[in-house]
Amino acid sequence: MDAQGNNTPASPVAWLPKPDHTAAALPPLTKEERAEAVLLARRLQSELAEVIALLPESDRGASAMSRALRLDRATCQRIVAGCIQPDPGVELLTNLPGIQGLRQFIDAVDRLGTTDSTREILASAAAAVDVFEQALDRLAGSQRRLKARLMADVPTFDGPIGQRVDAQAPADDPSLREALFRSAASIVGRWSQLSIDARIVGPADGDPNRTEGARIRALIGHIAGPQAIPLEVGETSSMRALDGSSPAFATLDTKPASGATPQSLLTDFCSRPLPRVITRAWGTKSVHTLDLEGAPGSPHDIVLAHRNAAPDAHPSTLNPPIGEMWWLASFPTRRMQFDVFVHKDVLRNAVAAMEVHLWGPDVGRPGTTRWTTRFPGGPGLERLGRGLARAGDCTFERYDGVLATVFDRLGWDASQFEGFRCEAVYPVWRSGYCMRFDFGHTESDHPQ
């Protein structure tokens, strides 16, 4: 109440904690330092997760790990909590145990007994901890001071709110991606207005440890020039149940996808004249070669659909228990839409995340986060919810009809499937967009 007896609001900063003087005395991380720290955080998480996977499954929770390795429970809790973050950032470096605690963890696992392959994993993790120690010395000198530098550029009530804008990673810069798209289209000789990749994963009949899947590939507004390289669409499946002598993929009518496969096309959604489709298959791979008719520069709508020829192992049965779906940017496209629909009985309590990788020798290697190839930044992941109500909301007006047709031909109830979507304008050409589903953690793994 003021001198005249009027009620006056309290100062918005009066009840807040006082500024950290250590933080105020240290400069915030530069754009380059923050990018280095994010890459290191991803590397540490990947390496530590592989070390945890060396333990028996029953010893991977914080309490059991503490007993098995004879380590402080808080150390184990911080390691487990750090390894289950779906997309680690700089903060992971301050949340993990210190250098000594990380080395004690690796040494404790080593004392359990090693083989050539486990020694390789432990040596790689130890090298990552060494790099962490060097980075700490260079960036701050300690985890506490690193945290202070992280807090130095966080907006407070003492200044304008919302002024902070994270530095944009190069792969997040639309002008750079557009320039790459236009250059690639000129070199490759073909491009699409929209590329759609949709995966559908359901349970195999009578076996909770197996899954069945289908895939939709659509090139909408696809244009080829007079000197375009051939149009090939590839597919790969782990197909651990495959006998090795028949194609890994079949058309929706269950005919093996090999040779002339006009039934690969969803003709109701393709433009005319229809392309000719020739499929070559070997092992777990298939390549569909499409011959288009018409004058160079004329747009084509091409929609293909296939199903797995045999059930696959459920990701929860793998080590580590991670399932991955990839969209590879083989041809430049103005827009990309990557959808995955997972049956509720298959999804269980999996944690979903999105990554973008440089297309290198490590692309497609299942099971671990490839920190060496991953771009900073990248598009987010949207959860569409159960059923197809929101799935049809996209730039291809007939997409809802495509989904309804495929689910109907598979004989699956779409209302039992959970949808996930990643979209990008000018996706990075020759990169891999990976949607990961981690089945390896339970609620008890999280800090209390």
Residue 413 has pLDDT above 50, yes or no: yes
Residues 6 or more apart whose Cβ sits within 8 Å of residue 290? 231, 232, 233, 275, 276, 277, 302
Of the listed ranges 13-27, 38-52, 92-106, 339-353, the one predicted with least confidence? 13-27
Between 189-198, 370-379, 396-405, the lowest mean confidence (pLDDT) is in: 370-379
Q: Between the CA atoms of 288, 293, 296 and 297, what dihedral angle is there, to the nearest 10 degrees?
A: -80
pLDDT per position as a tens digit, 425-435 = 999 999 999 99
In terms of pLDDT, which residue wins out, 370 or 172?
A: 172
263's CB contacts (< 8 A; 6+ apart) are: 251, 252, 253, 255
Is the predicted pLDDT of residue 261 greater than 70, yes or no? yes
Residue 273 has pLDDT above 80, yes or no: yes
Give the separation between CA 15 and CA 11, rounded to whole angstroms: 8
Tell me which residue of 278, 281, 277 sits closest to 239, measured CA to CA.
Answer: 281
Say which DSSP state 375 is in. P
CA dihedral 357, 362, 367, 373 (to 10 degrees): -30
> Distance between CA atoms of 110 and 114, rounded to whole angstroms?
6
Here the tokens at position 71 are: 């380590």
pLDDT in tens, 126-147: 999 999 999 988 888 888 888 8
Mean pLDDT, range 379-390, rounded to an integer:
90
Q: For residues 124 and 119, what is the distance between their CA atoms, to the nearest angstrom?
A: 8
Q: What number is the average pLDDT over the span 168-174?
A: 76
At residue 161 the predicted structure's pLDDT band, cuts being 50, 70 and 90, is very low
The residue type at 409: R
pLDDT band at 87 (very low <50, low <70, confident <90, very high): confident
The arithmetic mean of pLDDT across residues 342-349, rounded, is 93
% of the chain surpassing 70 pLDDT: 85
Q: In which element (H, E) is residue 35 found?
A: helix 31-52
Q: Given this model, what pLDDT does residue 242 score?
A: 52
Asked if residues 284 and 343 have their Cβ atoms less than 8 Å apart, the reply is no
Spatial distance between the Cα atoms of 352 and 340, rounded to a whole number of angstroms: 11
For every residue of 53-113, DSSP letters joined together read: TTS-GGG-SHHHHHHHHT--HHHHHHHHHHHT-SS--TTHHHHS--HHHHHHHHHHHHHT-
Cα 278 from Cα 255, distance rounded (Å): 14
Name the percent of the chain lying above pLDDT 90. Answer: 45
Q: How many Cα atoms within 13 Å fall on the side-chain side of residue 130?
A: 6
Q: Which burial class, exposed, middle or buried, applies to 141 when counting CB atoms under 10 A from its CB (0-12, 13-18, 19+)? A: exposed
* Cβ-contact 328, 236 below 8 angstroms: no
Asked which of 66-80, 351-365, 379-393 is least confident by mean pLDDT, the reply is 351-365
> Please, which pLDDT band fits residue 363 given cuts at 50, 70 and 90?
low
The pLDDT tens digits for 5-48 are 555 444 444 433 344 444 446 788 888 888 888 889 989 998 99
Q: 209-223, pLDDT tens digit by residue? A: 899 999 999 999 999
Cα 419 to Cα 187: distance, rounded to the nearest angstrom: 35
